[in-house]
Amino acid sequence: MRSEAPKRLFGRRIGHRLSKRQTQLWDELLPRLSIDIECDADRPLSTTFDHPVREVWLEIGFGGGEHLAWQAQQHPDIGFVGVEPFINGVAKLLSEIEERQIRNIKIHPGDARDLVPLLAETSIARAFVLFPDPWPKKRHHKRRLICADFLEQLGRVMKPEAELRVATDISDYARTMLLAVARSSYFEWCPSQPSDWRDRPADWPSTRYEQKALNAGRHCTYFRFRRKAIRAH
């Protein structure tokens, strides 16, 4: 039984005005790539793509889409679902998709908290949440995406042994993430050495948010959590 999505924390937002070409892509290309959360909810995600895919990966908050586009090009046999509420970020990804002729990306231009509760159980083989909004003010910490409740929702839709990749440049948020995972009945963290969270893996391309953090002198943390084979009770 699907649970009711939590109250949305933000709606679509736009920064600078879209270019004429971006507006055209928004009007013409996005409708063909969008996940219809009402009509597609009862369909296997893999069948929503134009060609057969081996499995489906999910990126929540893809920003400008550079990581998502890179992963999609590296793995043409995998279907990707990208979630991003900010209009400018979606427009940038649409430009990348058109320019590089990428055919294995679907987009939800909205809040992940609307989409994830509607996904089928064990339908996602890998998920990415890279540099989510840290909501740095203490009174806003409850708005942070990576929390116990959201991990329960995400754990339900991820396959056993699936990997959840999370990154942040805020040390306080990194601690919050680890505490949430420690309390999770779905996920576990199995580091073997400090480089496991200090160094970004080769198959994890840099993003503009990471570069911004590094340029500001902040250290980044790269977590790889594993979805437990059997949910703990």
DSSP assignment of 120-183, as one string? PTT-EEEEEEES-----SGGGGGG-SSSHHHHHHHHHHEEEEEEEEEEES-HHHHHHHHHHHHT
Higher pLDDT, 231 or 158: 158
Cα–Cα nearest to 79, from 62, 95, 56, 101: 56
Sheet of 158-168: strands edge to edge?
A: 105-108, 79-83, 56-60, 124-130, 158-168, 221-227, 187-189
Reported as a single tens digit per residue, the pLDDT across 49-101 is 988 999 999 999 999 999 999 999 999 999 999 999 999 999 999 999 999 99
Question: Model pTM?
Answer: 0.90
Higher pLDDT, 233 or 207: 207
Q: What counts of helices (H) and strands (E) characterise the chain? A: 9, 7
Q: What is d(CA 159, CA 164) in angstroms, rounded to the nearest whole number?
A: 10
**pLDDT interval class at 158 (50, 70, 90):** very high
Residue 232: DSSP 8-state: -
How many domains in the chain? 1
Contacts 24+ apart (CB under 8 A), 196-202: 196/224, 197/221, 197/222, 197/223, 198/222, 200/167
pLDDT of residue 15: 58
Q: Does some domain include residue 62?
A: yes
Q: Which of 8-12, 36-40, 91-95 has maximum average pLDDT?
A: 91-95
- Which structure tokens are listed for 223? 């977590």
Annotated catalytic residue within 50, 133, 149, 199? 133
- Cα 65 → chain centroid: 10
Q: Does some domain include residue 15?
A: no
Q: Does some domain include residue 162?
A: yes
Q: What is the mean pLDDT of residues 10-29?
A: 78
- Looking up residue 28, the CATH number of its domain turns out to be 3.40.50.150
- Which structure tokens are listed for 131? 């540099």
**pLDDT interval class at 137 (50, 70, 90):** confident
Cα–Cα nearest to 87, from 69, 66, 64, 104: 64
Clarify whether 114 is annotated catalytic: no
Q: Does some domain include residue 30?
A: yes
Q: Does some domain include residue 140?
A: yes
Which three-class secondary structure state does DSSP give residue 31? helix
Q: Measure the CA dihedral 202/204/207/209, to 10°.
A: -110
Q: Does some domain include residue 191?
A: yes
Q: Does some domain include residue 11?
A: no
- Domain limits at 154? 20-227
